[in-house]
Amino acid sequence: MHRAGFVNIFGKPNAGKSTLLNALLGEKLAIVSPKVQTTRHRITGIVTEPGYQVVFSDTPGIIDPKYKMHEKMMAAVKSALEDADVALLLMDAKDDTEDCLALFDSLKLKATCILVVNKMDNLEKAALDTLRERLEKWGKAKAVVFISALQKKGLGDLKNAILQLLPESEAFYPEDTLTDRSTRFFVAEMIREKIFHLFDEEIPYHTAVLVTQFQEKATLTKISAEIIVTRETQKGIILGEKGKSIREIGSLARVDIEKFLDRKVFLELHVKVRDKWRDNDTYLREYGLI
Ligand code: GDP
Ligand code: K
Ligand code: MG
């Protein structure tokens, strides 16, 4: 019997959803940062093994929408909820347990659920035992699994739990497919991740990245990208003194992109100011957020 299905990861911001997707795939597809709302899109990663195929989706954390961009992000979460065969409800071991369960209750899930407690590396054994007891009483999940996505612990248990719940089906994608997103998309995301790491507070939330040129030359890939911000002052910050900051973004991103493409890369970055892009349908569409 062959099994295949859609397994989607849900949870509060920073629960470790993107880290888990990468750990399950053994490949860095989703960008990760300690800041909330790093993930803006639904990102799919596909695992194909003899006998089964799992199509995993990482989703933006569940939040109350403040901008049109947030509404689009939550629409992505909602559609992911609707087409999951198995929903992984991910919580941080240190998050308030009752809050998390209330949030999961509020999703009115129809999909089969696995409750996944991440960051078990942050709790002592006694505390983990108490937590397990409480979560098993919740009764709405088919299984409760403890993991550390960062330390890659408990992933075997999680895969087994998923496989038991996966429907009988043919594969959905050819066996060598890793994702349904384009290379350009991942390049833009890798640049965006560096901005999340290098700047505090508001800058990352006002930034989008657009790849404007992607050319495979004989010995390297030439990539141009625009970093979009909402104000002139932010442009100045991204550029930095004598262009120091943008050079740093470029050199950090280039290392990741070269690893991802397995090719030498020439990366050219520009900064553009687009007032209120987060509330503008045309821009949101251009940046792939709709
Ligand atoms: P997301 O917002 O749910 O996608 O969370 P991310 O995957 O971006 O991770 C948020 C933060 O939690 C990052 O700093 C991760 O390195 C960290 N993190 C993720 N998984 C673990 C884990 O298992 N243990 C610990 N200690 N930290 C983790
Ligand atoms: K995050
Ligand atoms: Mg994420």
Task: Tell me: is residue 194 an annotated ligand-binding position.
Answer: no
Q: What is the pLDDT of residue 136?
A: 95
- Summarised one tens digit per residue, pLDDT across range 131-149 is 999 999 999 999 999 999 9
- In CATH terms, the fold of domain 3-165 is Rossmann fold (3.40.50)
Task: Tell me: is residue 13 an annotated ligand-binding position.
Answer: yes
The secondary structure of 246-277 as a DSSP string is HHHHHHHHHHHHHHHHTS-EEEEEEEEE-TTG
Mean pLDDT (whole number) for 230-254: 97
Task: Tell me: is residue 68 an annotated ligand-binding position.
Answer: no
User: Is the CB of 16 inside a 6 Å radius of any atom of ligand 1?
Assistant: yes
Q: Which of 19, 43, 95, 153 to mutate to test the pocket of ligand 1 (most atoms within 8 A of CB)?
A: 19
Q: How far is the CA of 13 from the centre of ligand 3 (A)?
A: 7
What are the phi and psi torsion angles at 42 (to 5°)?
-80, 125
Q: What is the pLDDT of residue 8?
A: 93
Percentage of the chain modeled with pLDDT above 90: 72
Which bin fits 51, alpha (ψ -120 to 50), beta or left (φ > 0)? Answer: left
User: Is the CB of 32 inside a 6 Å radius of any atom of ligand 1?
Assistant: yes
- In CATH terms, the fold of domain 183-286 is GMP Synthetase; Chain A, domain 3 (3.30.300)
Indicate which residue's Cα is closest to atom 19 of ligand 1. 16
Which pair of structure tokens corresponds to residue 142? 């088919």
Domain extents in the chain: 3-165, 183-286
